[in-house]
Amino acid sequence: MAGTTPRGRAERRSPGELESEVLAALWATDRPLTPAEIQAELDGDLAYNTVHTILRRLHDKGLVLRDADGRRGAYRPAKNAAQMTAEAMHQALDRGPDPIAALQQFVTGLSPEEETALRELLGEGGV
């Protein structure tokens, strides 16, 4: 049966995928969420302990902040999605041997809408 392991369980997602799903749930709201609320947002697809583990990992990486909420902990993203994406792009440029060539390749892959937005941003004297 496609998509299942020999024991009949769904295939595991990578930790990066799980972290992305949890962050997406946090970004979709303007208030901190508890692990149980995040689990519900993900349609109960993940065990509570898995959600809690992912939140601890994200907290250790500085990607989420923990707010005290009585005895339960609620979490909120440390940065919005655009900030995290920009940070990842800067890190990728810093790792490569030729950041200008990487930018050239990046720009050639932009959609017309993205290219227009970038030209407008750069035409305004930068951001």
pLDDT digits (tens, 9 = 90+) for 56-87: 999 999 999 998 755 468 999 999 999 999 99
Nearest to 32 by CA among 74, 84, 79: 74
Distance CA 102, CA 43 (A): 38
Confidence of residue 11 (pLDDT cuts 50, 70, 90): low
pTM score of the predicted model: 0.72
68 with 117, same domain: the answer is no
Q: How many of the other CB atoms lie within 10 Å of CB of 39?
A: 21
Count structural domains, the chain: 2
pLDDT of residue 5: 46
Over residues 23-59, the pLDDT tens digits come to 999 999 999 999 999 999 998 788 999 999 999 999 9
Tell whether 72 and 88 lie within a shared domain. Answer: no
Range of the domain at 53: 15-77
HSE (CB half, 13 Å, CA atoms) of 51?
25
